[in-house]
Chains A and B, each alone.
Chain A
């Protein structure tokens, strides 16, 4: 329709921009997940994935090598460089507890003081107080503590002086037995890698879940196609009483919510001894997938040229031969499109798997694994979650982009008449 008169170029720019905006809006969430799946878990919690390409200010705990301990007045002193021998890196902030890893800026001293106060009944008492002060200055202490008791003086319990280049001086009131734990906020380069995928695939049973998903999916895709193809042929090309009603019933069954089947069918499975098992889920998926399969395939087969089928019959071919030799090969596009649908549906299913598969972790498919296990146990571990999600959506995405043409064709055959 490019040649239509009255097309305005201004409108075309607006169109381009709005489509671009929509595509970006549609893609951003998935890109966020993809980027996060490659990031280091500490970096994920420090900056958003949209800043993933930039260096991250990140707090790390460093336990330097215990060097010589010297004494300076009442205090024991350890000094060195947090970056070790190579000394590369820069400190933005530092601290002495994991609670406040970036409590002070580099170039200051940060310490825990013991404030000397007098109790209500005049007894001397001490209280912890943390503050930062200039390297060659003294700490400022409040006149009264939180409870309003007057402060008489202070002693240093432990203090850390940190320079931007990583040089530190650690002072401590008691003799240090172990190296002190120092907290440093420094700028780290972006850290991309496959570590999340490695974790998820090696130590989390996700590999088992992947195989389980395949084990559920393949038979649950192939068996309904076979059954549906025969049924569709019968409904499309064979004359028998009640055919119209059967087609109508299939159309009606398209909308039956599968929730209805859960309780009665699970009860039945238990009664006949299948219980919660792979066989059970194959049967269930076959049943649930059939209406759409029969519907799509019948719609397609009805449209095949009548001459071919009739001339074959005149030549003495039975229905079985007509079906296997002529109709089935001709129906390939419809078969492919349903196969993609059923594959995506069974691969992505959570409900049927939750109900018809055993609830032990050896039988989890990936969706159950993510929804019931990882989101609980790894709820805050976004890198692992992202990697797990990507492992689970990689195969459907691949199938989707490779076979998109057939999927679209099937959608059109099934929905628009």
Chain B
């Protein structure tokens, strides 16, 4: 069966199945199980109202439970076993991992990523949001800076491979160096700094996201506060740092944390740029080195990522509870 036919069939089956489920289950509830027409009409309606939310929620709860809740437990349990999953090794995978140079490098690099990528993207995002605020062509500028968001991490890496290429006839950085008479370098092989070159790809992609949200937040600042500051003689920088930034601090935190999560999960960029060579490994790419080879190790790395995320997750849940 050709993939196109297969694809179309699955859309029909999958989507149709979904619609069918919701439709049929509701009909079943209203007409067969608790029909409102018999003697105890009131009680049946009340019962139906009690059951219906769970009909609506069932597929979502199943999918979420299976793909996101179960794996938290499942991954942890799996990480306690050896490579093939037959022998219980307790925390052996973790102990061994932490004693390894490669893992410690990945952990350290991941730390760099989590610090610098959200900082960089938020900084550039805020800068562009503020600068384009009064510009006539501001919306065009924003669209163009937003554009990398649509590109895959693999595509973006390929784009930047061109920029970073060691050959001065391909890589623009080396072309500029060449123009000033410097010898070509391969940015991907400069120890330590290569991490920052790779991180910038992510900053490049996420700046648009930060910009859009921060720009909306800047618009939301009441004009009176700014006008008052102007009357008091504040210069544009004072207005920006003393009046505007404090008022959008909450949004900055949201943007920052959102990009942090994304950074914690991304593996594609490192995988495409260096394959983790030259000490550029981060935890997700380190995990992929063990995927399909050593499930115990792979799940142990995944669980380390989970542990790092947990504080923010708890903070998130508490925020949501407060809002409800």
Contact = CB atoms under 8 A, between A and B. Distances in A.
Interface of A: 1-2, 4-6, 11-12, 15-16, 18-20, 22-23, 26-30, 32-33, 36, 44-50, 208, 211-212, 214-215, 218-219, 222-224, 226-228, 230-231, 233-235, 238-240, 243-244, 246-265, 267-268, 278-279, 282-284, 286-288, 290-291, 294, 318-320, 323, 344, 347-351, 354-355, 367, 370-371, 375, 382, 385-386, 389, 392-393, 396-397, 399-401, 404, 408, 411-412, 415-417
Contacts of B258: 415
B267 A351 contact: yes
A395 B154 CA distance: 15
A23 B313 contact: no
Indicate the member of B170, B258, B299 with the most A CB atoms within 10 Å.
Answer: B170
The dominant DSSP class at the B interface is helix
Contact of A215 (B4, B144, B314): B4
A45 B135 contact: no
Indicate the member of A4, A350, A375 with the most B CB atoms within 10 Å.
Answer: A350
Interface stretch (B14-22, B92-100, B111-119): B14-22
A250 B64 CA distance: 8
29 contacts: A6-B230, A11-B236, A20-B141, A32-B163, A45-B169, A47-B169, A48-B168, A48-B169, A50-B172, A208-B3, A212-B3, A218-B7, A219-B7, A227-B63, A254-B316, A256-B71, A259-B265, A259-B287, A263-B74, A263-B75, A264-B75, A264-B299, A287-B68, A348-B154, A350-B153, A351-B284, A393-B151, A415-B258, A416-B217
Nearest to A288: B67
B151 A211 contact: no
B202 to A, nearest CB: 13
B314 to A, nearest CB: 8
Given A367-B154, A393-B155, A262 B147 contact: no
B317 interface: yes
B30 A318 contact: yes
A246 B264 CA distance: 25
A395 B68 CA distance: 29
- 6 smallest CB-CB distances across A and B, nearest first, come from A287-B67, A348-B152, A264-B74, A231-B60, A400-B150, A215-B7
Interface in B48-63: 49-50, 52-54, 56-57, 59-61, 63
Nearest to B135: A19
B268 interface: yes
Contacts of A416: 213, 216-217, 251, 254
Given A23-B145, A263-B295, 4 more contacts: A50-B172, A238-B52, A263-B291, A263-B299
Nearest to A27: B144
Contacts of A48: 168-170, 172, 175
B107 interface: no
